[in-house]
Amino acid sequence: MAEAANCTIQDIAPTLQTARQGPPNGPPAGTVFDARGAGGRANAAPSEYLPALTGLRFWLAVWVILHHICGKGMMLEAWTNALPSSLGTLIHGGYLAVQTFFVLSGFVLARTYAHVQWDRKTLGRFFTARFARIYPVYFVSLIVLSPFIIEMLLAPTWTPGQRISLLTIYLFVLQGWNGSLAVGWNTPAWSLSCEFFFYLWFPVLFAPLRNARWRMISAAIVAAILFPIVLDHAGVPWDWKPIYHTGDFVAGIAASRIYDLVVEKRVWMNRGYWCYLPALALGGWLIVHPHVVDGSGADLNTFLRPLNVALLVGFAIHGGWVASWLSGRVIDFLGKASYSMYVLHVPILWWSGRYFVHGKYHPPRPIAAMMYLTLVMAAAGLVYRWFEAPASVWIRARMKRLESSAK
C-alpha cells in the first residue's frame, strides 16, 4: 500500500500542482464562495437573495474540477483531446473560474454588509464570520488528505525544516504567498489565501464605494483593471497572488454598486441577458483565442475582469432562460455546496488516484471520472448540510457568547 501511495503522489501531484507561477494565466478560484447559503454574515443587514449567482457558483466549481481531471495524465485527458479544439480549450481554461469567484466575493460582501456601521464589535463579528465561512471545510480537507501528508512527510527526502515549513503554510493558509510548493496536497487552496487577504481589507476598500455613483464606480473599475499591470511594472513578485487579485475583488464591489444603480432605475430589471449573454460570448471567445491579447501589455485576466462585472450584474438583474435555469432548486442547493466542492475535490482526487488509477480497481477512465464527480458532489452536499453551515453558525454564536461574557 505504501508503494501505491507513493506512486499516486508522484504521478498525480505534478498535474495538480497548477497554482499560478507567473503572470495571470495560471489556475484556480476562488474562491468566491460567499453566498447566503452557509450563513457567514456578521451583524449584516438583510438583503435580497440572488439565486442565479448561487447557481453560477456551482458551474464555476464544475469548471475548475474539469480543468483538473482533463489535464495531462488525468481521467478525462483522452476524452478532452477527442473534443473540438475550441471546446477542449474552454475546459482547460477552468482555472479562470477562480477570477470570477474573486469578483463574486466582492459583489456578495458589498451587498451583505452594505448597511453595517463599522466599529470594534462589528469588525470582530465580520472577521469571525469570514473565518467561519472559510476554515472549517478547509480543515476537513486537511483531514481527508492526512494519510498522504503523513506518508510524504515521513519520507527521508524531507528535512525537519521543510516539514515544518509545509505544515505551517498549509495550516495557516499561506499557499497564495509562496508560489510553487513542492507538494500539491490541495492546490486550489491558494485562492483561500486571497480570500483572507480580501476580508482583511474589505472594510477599507468598501468605504469609498459604499454610496458611489457612476464616476467613482468607473474610476474603481479602471483602477481594478490597471492595478495588476502597475504591480507587474513595479516588480511586485507574482508569487504574491492575493495582492495581484485584489483588483478582481474591488471590481466585484464596484459591480454591486452598478447593480444598485440599475435597480434604482428599474428599467433593466429582468433584462439581465443584455449583460450576461454578451459577457459569456465575448469571454468564451477570448478564452478560446487568447493570442488576440498578445502585444497589448495586458494578460487575459485583465480583459476578462470587466466581463466578469457585466456577467454578475446581468445575473443579479435576472431575466432570460439562462438566469432562470441557474435559479432552479437543485442547482441552487449545489451552488450553496459549491465551496465544499471546490475545497474537497482535490483531496478526493488523491483517493480516487490511489484506488482507481494505481490500485486494484481499474474502471475505464470516463466511468472513473463519473464516479469521481458523483462522489465529489455527494460529499460536498453532505459536508455543506451537516458540517459547513452548522459549523459557521456555531462559531458565530460562540463569538457572541464571548462578547456577552466580556461585558
Non-local CB neighbours of 356 within 8 Å, separated by 6+ positions: 75, 362, 363, 368, 371, 372
Q: What is the pLDDT of residues 357-371, one digit of tens each?
A: 666 777 888 898 999
Residue 282: CB atoms within 10 A of its CB come to 15
What are the extents of the domains in the chain?
A: 2-400
Q: What share of the chain is helix, strand, coil (3-state, %, to 5)?
A: 75, 0, 25
List Cα–Cα distances, 168 to 110, 132, 162, 277, in angstroms. 31, 20, 10, 43
Q: Which three cell numbers stand for residue 48?
A: 435580497
Contacts of the segment 208-215: beta carbons below 8 A, 24+ positions apart = 209/110, 209/250, 209/253, 209/254, 209/257, 210/114, 212/254, 212/257, 213/261, 214/261
Write the single-letter amino acid at 176. G
Question: How confident is the model at residue 180, as a pLDDT?
Answer: 79
| Predicted local confidence at residue 407, as pLDDT | 66
Collect all residues with Cβ–Cβ distance below 8 Å to 111 and sequence separation of at least 6. 47, 48, 50, 256, 259
Long-range contacts of 356-363 (CB under 8 A, 24+ apart): 356/75, 357/8, 357/11, 357/12, 357/75, 358/4, 358/7, 358/8, 358/11, 359/4
pLDDT at position 358 is: 67
Phi-psi group of 61: left, alpha or beta (phi > 0 → left; psi -120 to 50 → alpha; rest → beta): alpha
| Residue 356 amino acid letter | F
Length of the chain: 407
Q: Contact, 100 vs 245, CB < 8 A?
A: no
Note the pLDDT tens digit of each residue in 130-170: 999 999 999 999 999 999 999 999 988 889 999 999 999 99
Q: Which residues of the chain have pLDDT under 70?
A: 1-47, 357-359, 407
Amino acid at 289: H
Chain centroid offset of residue 28 CA: 7
Q: Helix 300-317 and helix 246-265: axis angle, to 10°?
A: 30
Q: Are 392 and 132 in contact (CB under 8 A)?
A: yes
The Cα–Cα gap between 228 and 209 comes to: 20
359: region left, alpha or beta (phi > 0 left; psi from -120 to 50 alpha): beta
Q: What is the pLDDT of residue 179?
A: 82
| Radius of gyration in angstroms for the set of CA atoms belonging to the chain, rounded to a whole number | 21
Look up residue 181 and give its three cell numbers: 510548493
CB 309 within 8 A of CB 258: yes
The pair phi, psi for residue 377, each rounded to 5°, is -65, -40
Distances (CA, A) of 274 to 291, 302, 307, 311: 27, 22, 12, 10
Amino acid letter at 146?
A: S
Is 29 exposed, middle or buried, given 0-12, 13-18 or 19+ CB atoms closer than 10 A?
buried
Q: For the chain, what is the total number of helices (H) and then of strands (E)? A: 18, 0
Cell 453551515 belongs to residue: 389
The dihedral over CA atoms of 195, 200, 205, 210, expressed in degrees to the nearest 10, equals: 90
Dihedral over Cα of 295, 297, 301, 303: its sign:
negative
Check residue 38 and give its pLDDT: 36
Compute the mean pLDDT over every residue in the chain, rounded to the nearest whole number.
87
